[in-house]
Amino acid sequence: MSYLERLKSCSNLKEFAEYLGYKPSNLSYLLYVLNDDLKYRTFEISKKSKEARVIKAPEKSLKGLQRRLASRLENCQKEIESNLGIVNPVSHGFRKGHSIATNANIHKRKRYVFNLDIKDFFGTLDFGRVRGFFIKNYNYELAPEVATIIAQISCFDNSLPQGSPCSPIISNLIGNILDVKLLKLAKKNGCHYSRYADDLTFSTNQKVFPADIAIQDPIKGDWDCGAEIYKIMKLVRFQINDSKTRMLYRNSRQLVTGLVVNRKVNIAADYWRDTRAMLWNLFNTGSFFIKDNSEEVAEGTLSQLNGRLDFIYQIDAYNTNKSKGENVKTAKKEAYKKFLFFKSFYVNEMPTIVCEGKTDPIYLKCALESLADSHRELIDKDGKLNIGLFNYSKVAADVLELSGGNAPISKFLDQYQKMFSLFRVNSSQNPTIIILDNDGAGLRTLNHAKRGATSEVKMDGFDEPIQCLPENIYVFRIPRIIDKDLEIEDYFKEEAFQIKLNEKSFKRKGVIDKKKEFGKFLFAEKIVKNNKKNIDFSQFSLIFNVIQQIISHSKASAPTD
């Protein structure tokens, strides 16, 4: 039975709880027992318009429930779109494979681009609208009790809160009613239409823009929505934010969801120019200045610059991947690479640990939390780590070319000193520590490191010397506990491997039968994380002892002013 069929078959709380994979008592507790004052944390973030966006972040257990609901509804919507033959939906927000770039791409190289904005989009989607949608919509037609529970899970203070994992999918489901009507109007008038959350865009190459969609004041020259737009918005109970309505012409800069679309989807030239200037100042002086959302100039943070560069990178990758394929070097990508290296390894606020694989940092973090009392140099009493565990993200793989495994680490070692030479400010002097498995592949990487090492250091209780490379980088293989090839998983006791996940068994190597088995990632995420209080991590102390000695050696070797 499909996700949608199972959902439509639910008639009460017990059945719906089972559909979500919850015990009815747990679902009832979150809905009816947990105090409303404890369900959300409310805070504000500033916007460019100088207004404040109110974020209502759900507490951990409620957030987990909302994520589960969102996942189920996303699967249902995929089934509906597949059944209807919908390949390219006009809604691009909060959808896998869609972005502000795919949204903007629809409107490139047009004579006219007309942008408008829905006023208080999430706020107008109240409890009654959410509940009514799931009862009345012909694709769902759920039992009233189930529709009520969905609204109770997803709404707070009588609306969909910004910050809830299920607000995006539910807003898209209800927004689809608007999309159908506006798309029909757009096609009738020879226009293209798309929506990204609350941003609506129409575009056309016609000589005269259709009056049904937008009209111009003959005296002031201002543009307003046409009568048909207002009629549709009233019908579906949305309002236009008139202050954000604008018409953009071919001979001016045309923006759609913040991207220039005159010739191709791109960031604004001045945005990239300003970002490059910030990077130059950061690398050469150690600081830079940036305009905040109120247009005031203030000293910028690494987090702000990271956000700008990630935005630039995403759009650059969208364009290069479309035209040239993946793994293409561009000036924007190289600039991001320098920044990430600077942030992660040059001015790192604490020693940085780089492991071979994506799951290794999860093991080390859980082990360190379990063994905290024995390794206070690495973790404080509040559970805050005093070491940084490098995260193998998609961006790290593409930009830094660190994707996990021995070959990328060897390449990383080759470029490490060269990257350090690009910066003119003082480094943090915190070491980068690379941890390898004690096997043949790890030995090859260790031997590669030896060729560039300036010295070898013997650590107490550890037979194999640590390789010390220029610019405070250390490389070692995990200490042996068995007389054969050793991977970090071997530090777990056998009991950990016997823990089942939905009746499936852990398989370390080889092809995984997904019906019966799960691999290392799920072992780390679901078994180790969820059972860290009961798992025996004692053998991981061997690794932490080496790390502590390396940090001490690094401090003792650091140049003094």
Cite the beta strand spans of 147-207 per DSSP E: 192-196, 199-204
Helix (H) or strand (E) holding 420: helix 406-420
Query: Are the C-beta atoms of 168 and 121 separated by less than 8 Å?
Result: no
CB atoms within 10 A of CB 263: 9
Which region, left, alpha or beta, applies to residue 47 given φ > 0 means left and ψ of -120 to 50 means alpha?
A: beta
- Beta strands 40-46 and 432-436 are unpaired
**DSSP assignment, residue 124?**
T
The residue type at 453: A
Residues pairing with 246 in the sheet? 115
Query: Are the C-beta atoms of 305 and 286 separated by less than 8 Å?
Result: no
Sequence-ordered list of residues with C-beta below 8 angstroms from that of 429, at least 6 positions apart, any chain: 472, 554, 558, 559
pLDDT in tens, the chain (561 residues): 788 999 999 999 999 999 999 999 999 999 998 888 888 888 777 665 556 678 888 998 999 999 999 999 999 988 888 887 776 678 898 888 889 999 999 999 999 999 999 998 888 999 999 999 999 999 999 999 999 999 999 999 899 998 899 999 999 999 989 999 999 999 999 999 999 999 999 999 999 999 999 999 888 888 999 999 999 999 999 999 988 899 999 999 999 999 999 999 999 999 999 999 999 999 999 999 987 665 678 889 999 999 999 999 999 988 887 655 556 788 999 999 999 999 999 999 999 999 998 999 999 999 999 999 999 999 999 999 999 999 988 888 889 988 888 899 999 999 998 999 999 999 999 999 999 999 999 999 999 999 988 898 888 878 889 999 999 999 999 998 888 888 999 999 999 999 999 889 999 888 889 889 999 999 999 999 999 999 999 999 999 999 999 999 999 887 765
Structural tokens at position 123: 């706020």
